[in-house]
Structures are given as structure tokens and as C-alpha cells.
Chains A and B, each alone.
Chain A
Amino acid sequence: MNATGFEQRAATFLRPRLLLPAAGLLLSCLILAMLWSAHASSVAREREVTLRMEEDVRGAAATLGYFFYERDNDMRIASDNRQLLTYFENKALGMSEEYGLLASRLSIEEHLAKLVQDRRVGGEPIYSALALVDREGAVIGESRAGPHTAKESPWRKFLPESEPHKPLFAVDYEAQQPGIVLRQPVNLGGQVVGHILARIPLERVLPLLVRSPEAGVHLYCVTEGPRLAATLHGVFDPALPGRLVEPGPGRPVSSQRVRAMDDGEKAEHLAIWASVPQTPLRVLSLVNVRELLGAVSPWLITGVSALLCAFTLAALWLAWRANSAQLVLGARLEEKTQAERTIRQKASELEQLLDSLPGDAFFKDAKGRYITGNASLCALVGLTREELSGKTDHELFPAGLADKYVADDARILEGGLERLETEDQVPSLQGLRDVLTRKVAVHNAEGAVIGLIGLGYDITEKKRVERELQAAYAEMERRVEQRTEQLAYANTLLQTEIAERKQAHREANLVLSAVSALLVGVDMQGRVSKWNQAASEIFQLAEEDSLGREFASLPLPWEWDRVLEGLAQCSLERQTVKINNLWYERADGKEGFLFVGLSPILDEGGGLKGVLVLGTDITDFKVLEAQLSQAQKLESIGQLAAGIAHEINTPTQYVGDTISFLRDANADILAVMDRVAELAATPDAGCGAEALQDLADKLEDIEYPFLREEMPLSFSRAKDGIQRVSGIVRAMRSFSHPGQGEKKGVDLNEALMNTITVSRNEWKYVADMETDLDPQLPQVICLPAEMNQVFLNIVVNAAHAVEEAVRGTARKGVIRIATAQEEGGVRISISDTGAGIPEAVRGKIFDPFFTTKEVGKGTGQGLTLAYDIVVNKHGGSISFDTEHGRGTTFHIHLPLGW
């Protein structure tokens, strides 16, 4: 703005004759407008507060409406409850309380009590009571009390006298606390059979639903027509609802100013009320108008404000008049100073702007001379900003580059191009730099080109990075291609491996199915993970009925205790556990035996993954074993038979001889006795000396003194002989008894004596038998027949060893049998003074079919059987001490087995 224009406008404005009336009119209008606006806003605020209150009340009514809608739902759901209907059904079926109906009634009470507990608002139960009553009014079930008769029922007054199918919503004013009573019919087969009744304590529940926006200012209550049903917040005059004018139809919210008591004095209040949907209730709110809108009238505020404004305007007008001329002069000076400051500031800003630009910025005039440049450009060309001003490109850059720059500038300055972007290599102290230069034409107000602005960026680094990126990208593409080929190859290998593994898995499953032995896998949860065909056949339990089930719960008829013990041992020790002769019941109901191996399944880290149970039916083997055992026994007996026959024959022979002697003696004595009888029959003949001499002669003839002495001895010998025979027979019978296959308590001393007896002929010619049997030896639980076999085998071996040692000599060896108690069982030691066991064969003597005896004298089964019987069947141990040329002692340890 120039000075002339300003002075003209100021003079016009300050012209007194026109200015003052206009200013006065304008100010008056302005003040009136402000006053009206202030008053209108006061009235609007009053309306807004009223509307907000109405909204609060309508919201409260809607909340209560929704609340009672929910309660209506509660009642409908409760009346349709299965337990309620069941009670009426059971009653209709004729069931009695004592036998069944009581359960239905109790379940109803539980259901109602649960409903009371579940339905809450603000943590408080909504219902104070719920009840089911029959059509006669008798309470069937109640949430809080026992059954009532129809007469004493507190619900009776709410039961319908007509139209029983209609629900009820009523306010009970007679109760100690006013409450809402809801009633819903219970229908069964289209007939109303009873009612569900509920009580909601109004003053306890509703305040939790309707919260006063300003406690102590907004008061709330619930009314039913002209009656005050419940006060929610504050204190209400019970007569107030009756004083309210009934609103017109269709108005959801009504308001009315009423005078009501507040802090002991009557004051004007605003009453606002709204109907609670679907109920006869209304929500009524009361607020003191003074507290709502304030104590001072908006009109008074408006008047005072207007006066103050008028005084202010007058004072301002006078002050303005006094200072207006001075203000004009000040304004002109200020404007000039401001313009100069602005120019300097703009120049500084331009320089700062140029300096702040990233790169070499410059400004050239229409002839292509530099007007200014930024610090970066100055540093590049080695000049100050002032020195740069007026220079051309030829003064700053090499000729070739300067020519290009001048040519580029000409394309813009001559109006051919609006902007231009070039890339050039510019020499610098650091060598050649890649520079991107952007040039833009600068126009004056008339649109003519008056110069250009340029900005050069150093893109040396960017160019280098681009080149490196291109190289890296090429390298990456090459590597991706190479890696893709490798992955394709690896994928092919993987597919092949997967196919091979699947094939191997199928083959493994086929192998497992084909295995004739029972095979069961048990995982770490104790569940069956594998169940092969043989297991299905042995136990008649299909794979699908066993897989995934708890192993120990399967109905397998076998010795579970041994299996589970083995399972535990296998799991703990992580070693294969073998269970021999495991009893089980075969599919045909007969006894069977399994040999079961329990092997731990370990993962690669040695962690236990489960247990593999592998069982083989050895029932047939057991039968063969039993037959072999008996055959071996019979073989022993056969070998012993000759000796035993001899043992029996000797006493039998001398018993026979004795009996012959006794028969002859008896004949002689009878002849003498006949003569005595004859003399006795003829007493008259008298017993003279002749007769006596005859008797004496006869006694002499028969060698009576000899007979008298020998006959008793003969009887005794005969008896001894018979006893020896019967002893041998008894021992034989005891020894060769096949047994019942059951363990029982056995006196091992007696068993050893029987063995000594039956084997007597084997050793008596070559050895003396010595015994050292512990008389206190306890009975041992064992298989008696099998143990006899063990003792016999060792004693016969001992006899043969001694025989070999004494062969060709006159001396006899010794076989010694001893028994003794020791920790955990008994020890039987059988020693001989034979040749001892050669060192070379000591490790083989328990091997099957190994023998050192001559052909026909041993089968090589004796010690093998002994080992099997002692170790496998009795859990005992058998060992030997031997010394070449001095003899051998076998030690047998047997646990007591109790």
C-alpha cells in the first residue's frame, strides 16, 4: 500500500460528520444483537436442561421397561421349565410324595432357589421369592420356605379368580416392603395347572437400575397412577403424584412445574414423568428449579450487561477521537518499517531456504548470471555468496561443462521449457561427482521469464549403490536359480524317502500281523498302542476293541499280577523282562501257558516311549516238558530198577528162608504137642515115667532149646525183612509219584532219605553214605516229585563219580548229604569223594545233553533238568565246588516259598 492511498482512506474514515452517527448506529446494533443473543442462549439453556432431564427420565423408564420385559421372560421360561411340568405329569400319573413325587418337588425348589440366586442386578438378587402354586393355591415349591397349604399361602391373594391363563403384574402395597408381584400360568396339555409367582422388592432393586445423574438434585420415584409405589432417590410427598396433570395421549414424557417442599420450605420444582412400557408404572423425577437454572433471572443479567456495554462504547469513542491523528502517523511509520523488515526477512529466508536445501541451489537472472547461491554451491565453486553474485557459468566451471549449462539455461530462459533435469559429472576437490541438476523457470507478475532457480544433487553415492545393487541382484538371481535346483533335487530325494518309509511301514505292519506270537504295545499312558492278529486270536479280543484302551483294564484271562510286575520292572530298569510259564485261559476254555517278553521301547535319546509285550504260546512245549520230565524220571527208575530189585530181593530171600525154618520148627513142635494132647486125652492111663521120657526124647529130637531161642529171633528177622521191603516200596512210591504239578510243603530230609533208599544199590558197593540232616529244617514249598528227581540225579552222579575213583581198588568212597537252614531258605549239600569235575568242562555241566559218562550210562539231561527245576521252577540256585582228585560238592539253595 502506498502512502497516498492510505491517507485518502484515513481521511474519509475520519470525516466527523458521517463517521460519528454511523459508528453510534453500528455500535447500538451490535450491543442489541449481543444482548439478544445472551438472552436467547439463557432461554435455550433452560430448554436444554429440561430436555436433558426429560431424556434422563425417559431413559430411566425405558430401563425399567426393559427390566420388567426381562422379568416377564424369566416368568415365561420358568413356567415352561421341564422340572415343573414333570411334577404335574408325575402327579397326573398318580405318583405319591413318598414314592417319587417328592423328588420332583424338591427339584422344583432347587430350581426356583437357583433362579433367585442367578437373577441379580448390581449384585443384589432381583427376586425376594419365587413360588410354584397349584390351581387350588397350595404352594408346591418355594425358593425360600417349605410348602404351605392353600389356606396359609401368602400368594393366595394374587391367584386369579377368573381367566387363569392371564399373567399378572401388580404392586403389593400391603407387604412390609412394597414390591411387584408377577404371575405366570403353567400350562400342561392346554390346561392351566398352576402358577409361577415372583416378588420383586421395589425399593431394594429399582434404585440399582435408575441412577440419579446429580445425587441430591434429581429425585426419583415410581408411581402407579396417583399412588406413590416406591421412592428411588430422595424423599417424596405421597400426595404429589395425585397433583400432576394427566398428560395427553401419545406423549412419552410430560413435565410440569409444581411447588414442593425442599429443605423445609416450599420451592418451585420441575416434575418430569414417563410411563414404564408394558407396565402400569411411571418414573417421576423432581428437581428444584433454582438449582437447575440458577437464582438470577436471564432478563436481569441481560439489562445489566446492556448498560455496561453502553458505558464502555462511550468511553472507547472518546478515547478513539483523541488519538486518531496520532494513530495515522504512527501507522505510516510503522508500515514503512514493517516493509523494510519484511524485505530483509524475505531475503534472509530465501538464503536460509537455499542453505537448507539438500544440494547446490542457485538463482540466476534472465541473462544466466548468478544472483545468489546456497552455502553448498559456494563451497563447490570456492566463492562467497557476494562473490558469486553476477558470475557466469564460464567463470565457475570448465568450458565444456559451462557450455552445456549455458545451453540448458537458454532452453528455459528463452521460454522453450518450464523445467529441466540433467545429470552431469562435475569436477570437485574429491574428484568427479555425479550431479543431478533440476532447473525451474521463474516468472514475473506478467508471466515473463525473469530467471531460473536451480538445484544440484550429489548422486555419486546413489549411482554407486545402484551399480552395486544391480550386481547384487544379478548375483541373487543366480543363487536363487541354483538353490531352486538344489531344493528340487532335495524334494525328489524326500519324496523317494517318504515312499520308502511308507513301504517299510506297510511291510512292518504286515510282518507284525504275520507274527504268530502275541504282540502288544503299551504306551507311556498305559494304553494299548499295538495289538496284532495273534493277540486277537489268543484273547478273542479284536484290535479295534483294544487299541487306545488302558492295558490293565483289558479283560485278559491271564496272571495279571505277573504281567504288571514285569511291566513295572521293565519300565524302571529299561531292560527286557522275561516271564516264563505265564498262565492264561485259552479261547477253548482250557489252560494255556505263555512265554512273555517285556521290552522297553526307547527313543533316540534313550527316553522310555512304552513297552512291547511279546508272548509265545508254550502250552505244547510245557506238555512235552512234562512228558520229558516224567520220561527222565522213568529212565532213572529204570536204571535203578535192577538195584532196587536186588534191594528188595535180599530181604525177601531171607524172609523166605526164615519162614521155611519156622514152618519146619512149627511141624516139630506140633508133633510134640500132638503127643501131649494124646496123654491129656487118656488120664486114666496116668502120666508115668515112660510117658515123660517119651516127651523128653521128642523134645531132644526136635532140638527144642535151639528152637526156643531161635524162633522169636526168626520172627523178628522176618518182620525186619518185611519192613525193609515195605520201606523201599514206600520210598519208591513216594519218589516216583508224578505229583499234581502244585507246590506244597515238603520235608526235604524225608525226601533225601527216600532218595538214599531208592538209590542204595547205586552207591552201596562203592561208597558209604553219611548224612548230616538238620532236624529243625522247616518245610519248604516246592514241587516234591521234581525235587526228588534233582536229589536222585545228583546222588547217582556222585555214586558214579566215586565208582570211577575207587575202581580197581578195595577202598570205598564217601557220599555225604547235609541240610541246613540259611537266610531266606534252606541249603542242601551233596558231596562225593569222586574224581572231581575237570576244569575244561566245568562251564558246560548244566548244558543240555552234555555228559562225561560212558555211552549208555548218562543222557546228559540230569543236571540240565536239575538246574531248570531249582532255578526256574523254584527261584533257587544250584552251584558246585570241585577239586580234581578230591571230589565235588553240589549246593542247592531253595527259598522257603511261603
Chain B
Amino acid sequence: MPATVKRARTALVLCLALALCGSAAFASPRDLAEVKSSGVLRHLGIAYANFITGQGDGLDVDLMRLFARHLGVHYVYVPTDWDTLFPDLTGRKHRTKGADVELLGEAPVKGDVIASGLTVLPWRQKLVDFSRPTFPTQVWLVVKAESKVTPIAPSGDIKKDIDLTRGKLRGLSLLCKSGTCLDPALFNLEPTGAKPRLFPGSLNDLAPALILKGETDATLLDVPDALVALQKYPGKIKIIGPMSDTQDMAVAFAKQSPRLREEFDRFFAALQQSGEYDRMIKRYYPFVTTYFPKYFSK
């Protein structure tokens, strides 16, 4: 191996090690000045749809890399999981009760920002501060192609469409994922007669669980994931209708990091204005602009 390559690799490893060790366990979340002085932006994420592909790229990975470059610091991806996602950012463990959140003990702070196709939800807003919306979404009800449940006929009114979709749930076993935008507590499922089941795997495995394993009658999927599933499993699934109104995805910051969030909002506005963000969207979600024309025309 050439000496220069070796030195570069050594430097990279050291850089990563130094970057990661900058986050003291049980320390407070860092704001803009601390991120800049540490020289590293730590991106917390979970491999999910085309936001974080797990192959070193994805819409949110690219976005955070550009943000780190904007700040003049190195970028470090810190993988986490849905159970530890918010504690890794805020330094506090928590327990959700519907839309309420109960704070528990301390946890090590491992990252400065969450960007992982994260839907803005009321209980999450109690834990963290969100940036301006970066991506639109919605939760859809999805069944296997051979299911007897038929898709709704869109009425033009999203509320009516949701009611029509909920009306199809009676007696269906329904895969949900706690702690995410597919948490059953967010959908008031009891009156629908659906039988919710908490899925222990990752969000990316919901569609395969429905199609390949036949574990359930139906599953909830958010739009980005459903679009990926439609491409990945053509003719195997069908969309019944919406389970939620249009929602926003955004980047999450600890409440102790207001300046970092403000800086991101400024950076993101400039990125949108330059047209670069549209190109990134086109690369990872080529159809989403047509699906949410109002959102992207804003």
C-alpha cells in the first residue's frame, strides 16, 4: 500500500475515533459553537428506505454531508436504533404514553442531529426541536395483492379517504412499529376492529414481512417506504388508502441546540433555492415531486 494512502487511512481512523470520543457519555447535547470547535458533525440515523440506504448514501446522508461541509466540519455517521434514537441525541431516556412523553434517566449523547426520514409527531416535538420540513409523507394501509380487501375510491377529501380506509380494517391483523410514525397509539385503532401487532424488526422489513412471510393481513407504511416497496415488489402489494393526513419529515435537534437548528434552517433554505435539493430528491425519490406537487411548489 502506498505510504500516502496508509497515512490517509490512519488519519481517517484517528479522525473518526477523535470525533466519536468528543461526545462525552452523559454529557449535554452540543450546540453550534461546540460542533464547530469539535470539528465534527455526528449524524444519528437508521438505515431506512432511500433516506439512509445503508450503502453509505441516501437523501439524508447527502443532506448531512452537505450541512457538515457548510459548517466546515467533518461528517460522521453514527448508526443507532429506534429505541435509542432520541436518547442518543438528547441524553435522556424516555417513555411514550400516547402523545405524552415521560423523561427517565440519563443516557450517553452520541450525536448532534437526527436525519433519518423522521416524521414530525407531537410527542417527538416534546422531546426535540425540528427543522423546517424537508420531505412530505403520509401513512398508507398496504395489503398483499391477493387480499380480498379492495382499495378505496378516492373522494378528493383526505379526511373522507382516511375514514374509508379505516373502514377496511375490521378483523385485519395489522403490522405497526412502536416509537415510529407507524406507532399504533397514533391511529386510534381500537374502534376500527383492527388487530395491531408490534413489529420487532426494522421499518425496511415491514413490506417483506407482509409479502414474503405472510405474518399479517396488512401493514402500515409511510409513503417513501411504500414507493420503494412498489418498485421492489411489483404486483405483490396494493395500496388501500391513507391512514393519516399529509405529514412532514424534518431533521431533529436537541432542545439545547437552538443555534445549530437555526443554522441548518438557513443552510436548507439556501439549498432549496439553489435547486440542489430538487436534484437530490430526483435522485432518491424521482416520483415524489409529482405525488406531493403542493409541497414541492412551496
A104 sits at the interface (CB 8 A): yes
Least Cβ–Cβ distance between B77 and chain A, in angstroms: 10
Residue A106, interface by CB 8 Å: yes
Give the residue of A85, A94, A524 whose beta carbon is less than 8 angstroms from that of B10: A524
Determine whether the beta carbon of B234 is less than 8 Å from that of A94.
no
1/0 contact trace for B17-32 toward A, CB 8 Å?
Answer: 1101111110100000
Q: Which residues of B contact A97 (CB under 8 A)?
A: 154
- For B110, list chain A residues within 8 Å (CB): 560
The 18 listed contacts between A and B (C-beta, < 8 Å) are: A85-B234, A89-B234, A94-B150, A99-B154, A99-B161, A103-B291, A106-B286, A106-B287, A107-B231, A524-B6, A525-B9, A526-B13, A559-B25, A562-B25, A564-B20, A567-B17, A568-B17, A607-B6
Assuming A525-B9, A526-B17, A561-B21, is B230 touching A93 (CB within 8 A)?
no
Chain A residue at smallest Cβ distance from B155: A98
* Assembly CA distance A274 to B161 (angstroms): 63
Question: Interface with A: B46-54, B174-182, B235-243, B251-259, which one?
Answer: B235-243
B286 touches A565 (CB 8 A): no
Complex contacts, B269 vs chain A, CB 8 Å: none
Residues B145-177 near A (CB distance < 8 A): 145, 150-154, 161
For A110, what are the chain B residues with a Cβ–Cβ distance below 8 Å? 286
Query: Assuming A96-B153, A99-B161, what are 4 further A-B pairs, CB within 8 angstroms?
Result: A99-B152, A102-B291, A103-B291, A107-B231
The answer to whether B230 and A100 have CB atoms under 8 Å apart is yes
Q: Which residue among B13, B145, B150, B238 has the maximum number of chain A CB atoms within 10 Å of its CB?
A: B13
Interface of A is mostly: helix
| Proximity string of chain A (92-118) to chain B, C-beta cutoff 8 Å, 1 when within and 0 when not | 011111111011101100100000000
Q: How near does chain B come to A94, taking the closest CB pair, in angstroms?
A: 4
A100 touches B239 (CB 8 A): yes
Given contacts A110-B286, A572-B14, contact A100 B226 (CB under 8 A): yes
Residues of B within 8 A of A563 (CB): 21
Q: Which residue of chain A lies nearest to B147 when distances are taken between CB atoms in the complex?
A: A93
A99-B140, A560-B110, A561-B24 known; A104+B230 contact, CB < 8 A: yes
Q: Within 8 Å of chain B (Cβ to Cβ): is A90?
A: yes
A63 interface residue, CB < 8 Å from B?
A: no
Q: Tell me if A608 is interfacial: C-beta within 8 Å of chain B.
A: yes
Chain A residues in the interface with B (C-beta under 8 A)? 82-83, 85-86, 89-90, 93-100, 102-104, 106-107, 110, 524-526, 552-553, 559-568, 571-572, 607-608
User: B81 to chain A: closest CB distance in Å?
Assistant: 9
**Cβ of B273 < 8 Å from any Cβ of A?**
no
Grouping DSSP codes into helix (H, G, I), strand (E, B) and loop, the B interface class, with mixed when no group exceeds half, is mixed
Bound form: Cα–Cα A5–B115 in Å: 116
> Which of B226, B235, B241, B290 meets A86, CB within 8 Å?
B235
Tell me, rounded to whole Å, the shortest Cβ–Cβ distance linking A748 to chain B: 25
Mask of B237-276 contacts with A, CB within 8 angstroms, 1/0: 0111110000000000000000000000000000000000
Given known A-B contacts A86-B235, A561-B108, A94 and B151 have beta carbons under 8 A apart = yes
Contact between chains at A96 and B152 (CB < 8 Å)? yes
B79 at the interface (CB under 8 A from A): yes
Q: Which residue among A90, A98, A526, A559 has the maximum number of chain B CB atoms within 10 Å of its CB? A: A98
Those of B17-71 within 8 Å (CB) of chain A: 17-18, 20-25, 27
Contact of B121 with A by CB under 8 A: no
On whether the beta carbons of A98 and B13 are closer than 8 Å, the reply is no
B227 at the interface (CB under 8 A from A): yes
Within B102-153, the residues touching A (CB, 8 Å) are 108, 110, 140, 145, 150-153
The answer, yes or no, to whether B280 is at the interface (CB within 8 Å) is: no
- With A560-B110, A561-B23 known to touch, is A93 a contact of B286 (CB < 8 Å)? no
Q: A103, B287: Cβ atoms under 8 Å?
A: yes
Cβ–Cβ < 8 Å partners of A102 in chain B: 287, 290-291
- Could you tell me if A94 and B238 are in contact, using CB atoms closer than 8 angstroms? yes
How distant is the Cα of A83 from the Cα of B272 in the complex, in angstroms?
Answer: 31
> A86-B234, A99-B140 given as contacts; is B20 within 8 A of A552 (CB)?
yes
CA distance A553 to B235 in the complex (A): 37
Report the Cα distance A571→B140, complex, angstroms. Answer: 50
| Chain A residues closer than 8 Å to B25, beta-carbon distance | 559-562
Please name all residues of chain B whose beta carbon is closer than 8 Å to the beta carbon of A572 when the two chains form the complex: 14
Which residue of the partner chain, among B10, B18, B108, B154, contacts A98 with CB atoms under 8 Å?
B154
* Residue pair A93, B145 in contact (C-beta under 8 Å): yes
| Minimal Cβ-Cβ distance residue in A for B150 | A94
* Contact of A553 with B239 in the complex, beta carbons under 8 Å: no
Q: Is the CB of B241 within 8 A of A99?
A: yes
In the complex, B73 has a CB within 8 A of chain A: no
Residues of A close to B13: CB separation below 8 A: 524-526, 571
A525 surroundings in chain B (CB, below 8 A): 9, 13
Q: Are A95 and B238 in contact (CB under 8 A)?
A: yes
Chain A residues near B234 (CB-CB < 8 A): 82-83, 85-86, 89
B16 proximal to A (CB < 8 A)? yes
Query: In the complex the two chains form, what is the Cα distance from A526 to B234 in whole Å?
Result: 40
The 8 Å CB contact of A89, one of B21, B145, B291, is B145
Instruction: Tell me whether A99 and B240 are in contact (CB under 8 A).
Output: yes
